Structure 1
Amino acid sequence: MNTRPGPTTRVRIREISGAVVRDRRDDLATEEPLEIRLSSLDGARRTVAITMRTPGHDFELAAGFLHGEGLASPEGVAAIGYCTDEDVAPEARYNTVTVRLHGPIPDLPALDRHFLTSSACGVCGSASLDVLHDRCRPLPRGSLELAPEVLYALPDRLRKAQGVFGKTGGLHAAGLFTRAGELIALREDVGRHNAVDKLVGWAALDGRLPLAEHVLMVSGRASYEIMQKALAAGVPVVCAVSAPSSLAVDLARDFGMTLVGFLRGERCNVYAGQERISL
């Protein structure tokens, strides 16, 4: 078997509603592992991450993850492809992505400890704001300003564009918007961080980084990992439907980012970077 997995999986269920029972089919969000490998032109190879994800946009997920962690810039990537190595079973070929670099594989002593995880969690487990300051600079103030009315429209536009969520009801989404609130790109995944990685990977492979004039909207909460990935992509404004974590707020304030939480209906909380919201 060498079948490429899709974003949804159909299963049979028994639905109970009051006294009515019926058997029917239901669509679930597919969840399968993805192994991300790095290889160099001299033949060296290393696994850097194993994450549970929804199949689809896998190359973007790999590129976004590597960019967010400072392991590979878009210019440093020679090629991305599904693995054809003999040590990978045929049914797992589409669950293994190899990213070939122009240069050598980065020599990071702690790589094995914080990237071989069950979810794409950025530098969690070993990271701190001090570590992040070593490789990221605060974002410039720039000219981006957003009216509250633009913010209020983002959640509904994000939700309407979630095709797989409409079928399954079980996916997170990350959307990239212009200053006018126009949706540029959207990615879905069972993991919040994966959805952001796919979006950043799309921008990286398309030569759009940094995203200095854009807004990132996520369907869940704003965590440290999401803010770190947005910072690496140069996104100045991050909006979330739910609450931010305390470390996410600290990161936003330290690096000059705007962080908006509880964006629902015509209300929101601005936790950092209030100067980019024009009242």
Structure 2
Amino acid sequence: MGRASDRRSVLRIDLSAPDRDAPAAVRRPDTLAGEEPLEIRVGRAGQARRPLAVTMRTPGDELDLAIGFLLTEGLIRSARDVSTAQLCAGDNAPNTYNVVDVVLADGVPEPETDPARAFYTTSSCGVCGKASIDAVRTRSPYDVATDRVELAATDLARLPDRLRAAQRTFERTGGLHAAGLFSTGGELVVAREDVGRHNAVDKVIGWAARQERLPLTGHVLMVSGRASFELTQKAWMAGIPVLAAVSAPSTLAAELAGEAGMTLVGFLRGQTMNVYTGAERVTC
């Protein structure tokens, strides 16, 4: 398996240095966020598992990532739909263990591997290659609209700093997204980092699924970037009633959140925020 971060030698150029006699360019070590491919293979026991997806991710929490991905794509409904999931050596040397082999439980249908619904994902996009928007508007088994949870705006305002404090690899690299699952009182339940924001969310949801905590009624999902359609869908698939982001939501994210009955909060920075849908859950 690869590493979450790696040290490299870089040429540091500083044109703002006040001492003109000092060199403007020096060699120094720098820490970079790890990024490697992860192939997810799915099938039945006693049969060869077929590649379903390849995602570029930061090494770590691979089983959570795989389970979270399968669940948020609607291919399984809970971790009980998986008989076993294990890291395997890849086809190329050296062995980097960039393959997760998933054996489905009896009675769980195998996913189709239709090229029109390709699951190749990059670090920045979790729905690339889908045939249409309709294909990714996966219906959740959970009715989050009936979740009557309420949360104080003052508690919401504390979440970005609490998520930032949990980003240990970001502290060294400055190059990772983060997702955190919080109670409505603002207590951190679990946090994950990744070069792909969708991977960070899948790692959180996969962890919750393996802990048999779904649906995540009465919880808040906080993300370090923008609130996209894919992240809104993933939160809905896990039964999360509130999605908060430090940056902007997209039009499709707001549309889907409204359709699902979710509370969508954007531009959560300092003491201000925008509540796009589900404002009745937020108290001032």
1:2-17 superposed matches below 5 A: 4-17=1-14
AA in 1 matched with 2:61: H
Deviations 1:52-95 (A, max 9, x none): 0000001100000000011123111111111247xx12424411
- Find out whether 1:192 has 2:201 as its counterpart: no
Deviations 1:148-200 (A, max 9, x none): 10011000111111000000000000000001000110000000000000000
Deviations 1:9-40 (A, max 9, x none): 11001112234332111100011111011121
Q: Deviation at 1:221? A: 0.1
Q: Which residue of 2 aligns with 1:96?
A: 99
Q: 1:209 aligns with which of 214, 239, 249?
A: 214
Distance 1:135 1:164, change over 3 A: closer
Structure 1 spans left out of the alignment, 5+ residues: none
For this pair of structures, how many residues does the alignment match? Answer: 274
Q: Deviation at 1:143? A: 2.9
Greater Cα offset, 176-185 or 65-74: 65-74
Matches of 2:250 and 2:240, distance apart in 1 = 18
Matches of 2:223 and 2:80, distance apart in 1 = 27
Matches of 2:168 and 2:145, distance apart in 1 = 35
Matches of 2:134 and 2:263, distance apart in 1 = 17
Distance 1:134 1:141, change over 3 A: closer
Q: CA RMSD in A?
A: 2.0
Distance 1:124 1:153, change over 3 A: farther
Deviations 1:135-158 (A, max 9, x none): 555423323101110011000111
Give secondary structure in 2 for the equivalent of 1:106: coil
Structure 2 spans left out of the alignment, 5+ residues: 18-22
Q: 2:28 aligns with which of 17, 24, 31?
A: 24
Q: Which residue of 2 aligns with 1:41?
A: 45
Distance 1:242 1:113, change over 3 A: same
- Find out whether 1:66 has 2:63 as its counterpart: no
Asked whether the equivalents of residues 30 and 55 of structure 1 are also in contact (C-alpha less than 8 Å), the reply is yes
Asked whether the equivalents of residues 15 and 23 of structure 1 are also in contact (C-alpha less than 8 Å), the reply is yes
Give secondary structure in 2 for the equivalent of 1:94: coil
Matches of 2:233 and 2:139, distance apart in 1 = 13
- Find out whether 1:116 has 2:120 as its counterpart: yes
Distance 1:124 1:277, change over 3 A: farther
Q: 1:128 aligns with which of 127, 130, 133?
A: 133
Matches of 2:30 and 2:136, distance apart in 1 = 45
Matches of 1:107 and 1:129, distance apart in 2 = 17
TM-score by length of 2: 0.90
Distance 1:123 1:13, change over 3 A: closer
Give secondary structure in 1 for the equivalent of 2:118: helix
AA in 2 matched with 1:42: G
Q: Which residue of 2 aligns with 1:249?
A: 254
Matches of 1:192 and 1:51, distance apart in 2 = 12
Q: Deviation at 1:213? A: 1.1
Matches of 1:277 and 1:228, distance apart in 2 = 21
Distance 1:111 1:252, change over 3 A: farther
Asked whether the equivalents of residues 142 and 239 of structure 2 are also in contact (C-alpha less than 8 Å), the reply is no
Q: 1:275 aligns with which of 274, 280, 284?
A: 280
Deviations 1:196-245 (A, max 9, x none): 00000000111111101100000000000000100000000000000000
Matches of 2:269 and 2:75, distance apart in 1 = 36
Give secondary structure in 2 for the equivalent of 1:115: coil
AA in 1 matched with 2:2: P
Q: Which residue of 1 aligns with 2:82?
A: 77
